Amino acid sequence: MNERASAWLEWNRSAEAAECLDGAALSATVEAGLNRTVFVPAERADLRIKVYLDRPEQDQWTAAIDLEDPNGKKLGHRELKTHAPQCSAIEESLASVVSLMVDVTRESVRPKPATIQQVVQAESESIAKGPATNHTNSLHESLFILGSARVGQLPGLGRGISVAGELGPPHGWFVLVSATGWAPTQVSEANSGARFTLASADLSLCGAAESSGHFEHSLCVGQQVGWLDSRAFGFDVNQRKSTILYDLTFRVRTTWWASAAFGLHLGLGLGLPLVQNEFFGTLADGSSVTLLTRPLLVPMAEFGFGLRGARFE
Say if residue 148's pLDDT is above 50. yes
- Binned at pLDDT 50, 70 and 90, residue 313 comes out as very low
Sheet holding 60-68, edge to edge: 7-13, 47-57, 60-68, 74-83
Alpha helices, DSSP H, located in 77-211: 88-102, 106-109, 116-129
DSSP 8-state assignment for residue 123: H
Higher pLDDT, residue 128 or 188: 188
- Kindly state the helix (H) or strand (E) to which residue 141 belongs, with its residue range: strand 140-151
Q: How many CB atoms lie within 10 A of CB 245?
A: 19
Highest mean pLDDT among 82-91, 116-125, 234-243, 289-298: 82-91
DSSP 20-56: S--HHHHHHHHHHHHTS--B--GGG-SEEEEEEEEEE
Contact status, residue 176 vs residue 202, Cβ threshold 8 Å: yes
94-117 pLDDT, tens per residue?
889 999 988 888 877 765 555 555
Contact status, residue 231 vs residue 194, Cβ threshold 8 Å: yes
> For a pLDDT cut of 70, what percent of the chain falls above it?
81
Q: What amino acid is encoded at 235 in this protein?
A: F
Say if residue 132's pLDDT is above 60. no
Instruction: Sketch the domain layout of the chain as residue ranges.
Output: 7-109, 140-308
DSSP 8-state assignment for residue 120: H
Residues 37 and 8: their CA atoms lie apart, in Å, by: 11
**Per-residue pLDDT at 49:** 92
**Closest of 11, 70, 13 to residue 42, by C-alpha:** 70
- Binned at pLDDT 50, 70 and 90, residue 126 comes out as low
**Per-residue pLDDT at 310:** 46
User: Coil, strand or helix: which one is 106?
Assistant: helix
Say if residue 162's pLDDT is above 70. yes
**Per-residue pLDDT at 270:** 93
Count Cα neighbours of 60 within 13 Å in the Cβ-side half-sphere: 4
β partners of residue 177: 165, 203
Q: How many CB atoms lie within 10 A of CB 134?
A: 6
CATH class for the region spanning 140-308:
mainly beta
7-109 homologous superfamily: TolB, N-terminal domain (3.40.50.10070)
Residues 60 and 74: their CA atoms lie apart, in Å, by: 27
